[in-house]
Amino acid sequence: MASENPEVVVAPVVENGGAESSSSSSKGKEEHLESELLKKLEITEDAKEDNEEEEGEDGSKGETSTKKKKKKKNKSKKKTQQTDPPTIPVVKLFPSGEFPEGEIQQYKDDNLWRTTSEEKRELERLEKPIYNSVRQAAEVHRQVRKYVRSIVKPGMLMTDICETLEDTVRKLISENGLKAGIAFPTGCSLNWVAAHWTPNSGDKTVLQYDDVMKLDFGTHIDGHIVDCAFTVAFNPMFDPLLAASREATYTGIKEAGIDVRLCDIGAAIQEVMESYEVEINGKVFPVKSIRNLNGHSIGPYQIHAGKSVPIVKGGDQTKMEEGELYAIETFGSTGKGFVREDLECSHYMKNFDVGHVPLRLPRAKQLIATINNNFSTLAFCRRYLDRIGETKYLMALKNLCDAGIVQPYPPLCDVKGSYVSQLEHTILLRPTCKEVVSKGDDY
């Protein structure tokens, strides 16, 4: 379909004139139109020249105007930066929806062929949405721990540390019921307490300069959990203890892989861990692997999915398999290297495989409904129940534990007076390579 052209003018037909008069009048009109167009062109060219001269005379104005234009362009292209303290959800920092990969490590020996296998690459493409969810949870973990490490100092209440950390996780992960949020309570176990301690409401414990604190927290997207931990110690005399668990964990990650026996990983971890010693107040202590603590496989909405990764030799002969997610964690102790349950319980978790169990207490029925709606099979603590408005629930909680519906996880402690350090990463055994999803610039 032809478009209209405003420059074309149709000559009017003269009713009583001859051919010559009509042709001469049309010629005259065409000449008139041409002269008008030429005038317009001259005016526009003059205007352009005037503008250029003005810009030449006032160069600073021209420069500022171009700068303003450039600034405007930059603003539109500029990537959103995280605030301090962090408040912007990570989904807004990565508008493409693609989150950064963790550290990639190649498989060894008999599994080298996986790196270039087209079939395995295709399997990875199919699993990409799950990988992306895990990476999102890992990115939240990295940003939260970076912030927390910058603010933690002696004299802080343990409750304040935990609540600051958890509130930051909720903001950055865009907490949304069971679809995104905190995977388990923040462990901030001190000194000889190795794991599973978090302050209950009203706890007034204060972090001291000579404390060794294990900060262990988890994030999840759609039940895909990232479990990662580090140790904070202000006194440099504990540095060798922290180095022992760090190097032992990195050794465990290096040894892990598809078809690797879990016991072989444990033997390698123990060898590295127990090559360290630490001098505390003039006395030298050998660092020991805690023999009854393990790493573990992770499943959707299941922090302990069945397989255990020992940190001493002589463990399970079971092999790791393709597609599995593992928390590789090690604990180094100056004590006996063996933990027992002690102190007041704060951690609880609904048993993953529990069926319907009849309950007599109405309050227990109400509490399990609350747990199902808010936590499902993810771990929780008493502070979380307080936060959602539950009160006077201890008897009902004990009833759920006695019925086998909920499992209590009391603090795990070595001998009093000893010190324990921990380092933990989550790894993904992809078909073509091993991805340390929680790895960051810090550790």
Q: Which residues are catalytic?
A: 216, 227, 296, 304, 329, 424
C-alpha to C-alpha distance for 277 and 21, rounded to whole angstroms: 115
Annotate 280-311 with b (16+ C-beta within 10 A) or e (fewer): beeeebebbbbbebbbbbbbebbbbbebbbbb
Contact between residue 305 and residue 297 where contact means Cβ atoms under 8 Å apart: yes
Q: Where are the alpha helices (DSSP H) in 332-381?
A: 362-374
17: Cβ–Cβ under 8 A, 6 or more apart, which residues?
25
- H/E stretch holding 50 reads helix 19-57
Q: Where are the alpha helices (DSSP H) in 302-428?
A: 362-374, 382-387, 394-402
Contact between residue 322 and residue 416 where contact means Cβ atoms under 8 Å apart: no
Give Cα 190 to chain centroid, integer Å. 25
Nearest residue to 182 (alpha-carbon basis) of 136, 221, 230 = 221
Q: Which residues pair with 288 in a beta bridge?
A: 333
DSSP, collapsed to helix, strand or coil, labels residue 158 as helix
Could you give the count of Cα atoms lying within 13 Å of 330 in the half-sphere of its Cβ?
A: 29
Contact between residue 99 and residue 136 where contact means Cβ atoms under 8 Å apart: yes
Residues shown for the chain: 443
**Secondary structure letter of residue 337 according to DSSP:** S
Alpha-carbon radius of gyration of the chain: 34
DSSP, collapsed to helix, strand or coil, labels residue 431 as coil
Give Cα 101 to chain centroid, integer Å. 11
89: Cβ–Cβ under 8 A, 6 or more apart, which residues?
171, 172, 173, 174
Please state, in angstroms and as integers, the Cα–Cα distance from residue 363 to each residue in 359, 366, 391, following that order. Answer: 9, 5, 11
C-alpha to C-alpha distance for 188 and 184, rounded to whole angstroms: 12
Asked, as a colleague might, if the bond just before 85 is cis with ω within 30 of 0, I would say yes
